[in-house]
């Protein structure tokens, strides 16, 4: 069974060789590693070519102009020849037995369209100090079919296994048949979740492997998620709308599921406001922030607060989110604006 691994490369010379080595040491002979340089300004492309000379399993491509991670990953998908594809960032690591264990799952379950496995998220500041480490914790494990995935969705969601793309294997035939590619309009993040949600909806069978195999480094200077850009706000909202397509297939007879949806919506709002609207480099005005509040309330929130039982369930699960909802519902935008301003200051301090 052939596997294609896709690594978009951009200005990663300090980390690239180590990242590639953690993959090559566990690959089988008929597998391919596709390195696509996105017009790096350092010597990353030269490193790619040097690595390819040492190992015939490496294929090196280069974009003519800098196009971003979505375009670059799509180049990889169009050139992949494996039955399954996997992704790695150019400064991350693959843990021991990642390939062996996932291939064993595929051999035992050849019908599986997507495998999601555990990851370790390591936050690193500008001084190269580890701020925190977070590992995946899955409540749903093993194989689930097309019907079960929606029944279990709000048990799957807290693991964040659908947020990223590099913690999984994806059947290439499933991707091509459903025209699943990365949205190239998303330049500064959230593209992983959109791709993963598409895969979730079109996969007839999914395997959740709780063991941690992938180590992802989120670095203060290199991560686009730590930078301000208006495109990021549009991308977050687009991702929320994509996930809403999943919510429409979830059993809404459950009050717990309905309150979980509200928490999910407000999570997106938190992301927009704390990471972007109140980013230290943001120039978004209060009038523009008010429009964002109204957009979230109108398009993503109001439809999910149709009865008092849901409100009571939300109060039990998360009182802070319940109060935020009440403030939004009452159009008290000034109060919620102050809340997010203070929250953003607290979050951004730890990255200094």
CA distance linking residue 131 with residue 217, whole number of Å: 11
What are the domain boundaries of the chain? 3-224, 251-349
Question: Residues 6 or more apart from 60 whose CB is under 8 A from it?
Answer: 35, 36, 37, 45, 48, 49, 51, 52
Q: How far lies 241's CA from each of 75, 171, 232, 236, 248, in Å? A: 26, 25, 14, 9, 11
Q: What pLDDT digit, counting tens, does each position of 57-97 carry? A: 999 999 999 999 999 999 999 999 999 999 999 999 999 99
Residue 297 has pLDDT above 50, yes or no: yes
> In the chain, pLDDT over 70 holds for what percent of residues?
92
Nearest Cα to 208, choosing from 313, 116, 291? Answer: 116
Pick the CATH number of 3-224 from 3.40.640.10, 2.60.40.10, 3.90.550.10, 1.10.10.10: 3.90.550.10
Tens of pLDDT, residues 15-39: 999 999 999 998 777 799 999 999 9
What is the structure's pLDDT at 144? 96
Burial bucket for residue 105 (CB in 10 Å: 0-12, 13-18, 19+)? middle
Q: What pLDDT was estimated at residue 83?
A: 97
Cα–Cα nearest to 208, from 174, 168, 175, 246: 168
Query: pLDDT tens for residues 158-209?
Result: 999 999 999 999 999 999 999 999 999 998 778 999 999 999 999 999 999 9
Judge whether residue 269 has pLDDT over 60: yes
DSSP tag of 277:
I
Residue of higher predicted confidence among 224 and 22: 22
Q: Which residue has the higher pLDDT, 329 or 140?
A: 140
DSSP state of 95: P
């Amino acid at each position: 069974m052939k596997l294609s691994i896709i690594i978009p490369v951009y200005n990663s010379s300090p980390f690239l060789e180590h990242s590639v080595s953690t993959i090559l040491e566990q690959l089988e002979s008929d597998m391919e590693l596709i390195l696509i340089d996105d017009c790096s300004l350092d010597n990353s492309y030269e490193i790619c070519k040097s690595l390819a000379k040492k190992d015939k399993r490496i294929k090196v491509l280069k974009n003519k102009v800098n196009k971003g991670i979505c375009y670059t990953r799509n180049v990889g998908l169009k050139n992949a020849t494996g039955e399954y594809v996997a992704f790695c960032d150019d400064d991350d690591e693959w843990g021991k037995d990642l390939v062996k264990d996932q291939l064993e799952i595929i051999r035992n379950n050849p019908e599986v369209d997507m495998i999601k496995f555990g990851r370790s998220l390591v936050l690193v500041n500008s001084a190269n100090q580890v701020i925190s480490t977070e590992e995946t914790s899955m409540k749903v494990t093993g194989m689930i079919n097309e019907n079960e995935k929606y029944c279990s969705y709000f048990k799957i969601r807290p693991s964040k296994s659908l947020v990223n793309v590099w913690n999984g294997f994806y059947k290439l035939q499933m991707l091509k048949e459903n025209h699943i590619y990365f949205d190239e309009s998303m330049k500064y993040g959230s593209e992983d979740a959109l791709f993963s949600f598409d895969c979730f909806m079109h996969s007839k069978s999914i395997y959740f492997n709780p063991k941690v195999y992938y180590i992802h480094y989120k670095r203060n200077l290199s991560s686009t998620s730590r930078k301000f850009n208006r495109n990021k706000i549009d991308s977050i909202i687009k991702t929320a709308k994509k996930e809403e397509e999943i919510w429409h297939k979830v059993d809404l007879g459950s009050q717990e599921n309905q309150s979980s949806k509200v928490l999910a919506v407000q999570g997106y709002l938190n992301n927009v406001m704390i990471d972007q609207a109140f980013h230290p480099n943001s120039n978004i005005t209060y009038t523009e922030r008010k429009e964002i509040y109204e957009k979230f309330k109108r398009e993503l929130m109001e439809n999910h607060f149709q009865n008092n039982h849901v409100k009571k369930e939300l109060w039990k699960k998360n009182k802070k989110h319940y109060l935020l909802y009440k403030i939004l519902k009452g159009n008290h935008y000034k109060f919620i604006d102050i809340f997010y301003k203070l929250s953003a200051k607290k979050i951004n301090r730890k990255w200094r």
